[in-house]
Amino acid sequence: MKTFDFTSRYGTEYEIAFEATRYVYGGLAVEVHCRERGDEWWEPYGTLTKNLGDFPPTSCAYLDANNLPDLCEFVMDKGWATQVGEGHSGFCAYPLVEFTDEFLETVCVENEEE
Instruction: Assign 81 to helix, strand or coil.
Output: strand
pLDDT tens sequence across 65-91: 999 999 999 999 999 999 999 999 989
50 and 28 Cβ atoms separated by less than 8 Å: no
DSSP 111: P
SS (H, E, C) 1-27: CCCEEEECCCCCEEEEEEEEEECCCCC
pLDDT at 114: 40
Q: Determine the average pLDDT of the residues in 9-16.
A: 91
d(CA 62, CA 87): 7
- How many angstroms separate the CA atoms of 41 and 99, rounded? 28
Residue 26's pLDDT is 82
Least confident of 4-8, 25-29, 102-106: 25-29
Which of 52, 104, 51, 38 has the alpha carbon at shortest distance from 75?
104
pLDDT 10s digits, 97-111:
999 999 999 999 865
Confidence class for position 25, pLDDT limits 50, 70, 90 = confident
Note the pLDDT tens digit of each residue in 38-59. Answer: 788 999 999 999 999 777 778 9
Query: What is the C-alpha to C-alpha distance for residues 79 and 77, in angstroms, rounded to an integer?
Result: 5
Specify the pTM.
0.90
Which of these, 12, 42, 45, lies nearest to 31 by C-alpha position? 45
Q: What is the pLDDT of residue 76?
A: 97
